[in-house]
Amino acid sequence: MKTSTKNLVIGIVVVLLAIVVASWIVNVALAFLAAAIKFVLIAAVALVLLIVGGLWWARLRGRE
């Protein structure tokens, strides 16, 4: 095998490996991002429920 052909094959293999590793990293990052967004949504809903519950409790206490 000529040196130029060998270098071309090595280059193609390195590019393919880089693509595979990059896609794996992106998949892991997206999974963490999805989990983070889910936790933020849960926290936002919990905060809204706490605010609504606090307002309801204050209204109940004000009536007495």
Across the range 2-24, mean pLDDT stands at 91
For residue 54, the number of C-alpha atoms closer than 13 Å in the C-beta half-sphere is: 6
pLDDT on residue 61: 83
Spatial separation of the C-alpha atoms in residues 52 and 42, rounded to whole Å: 15
pLDDT on residue 49: 96
Which residue in the block uniquely carries the two structure tokens 């991002």? 33
User: Chain-wide mean pLDDT for the chain?
Assistant: 91
CA dihedral 6→7→8→11, nearest 10 degrees, is: 130
pLDDT on residue 5: 87
**Does position 64 have pLDDT exceeding 80, yes or no?**
no
Across the range 2-15, mean pLDDT stands at 90
Nearest to 30 by CA among 22, 20, 18: 22
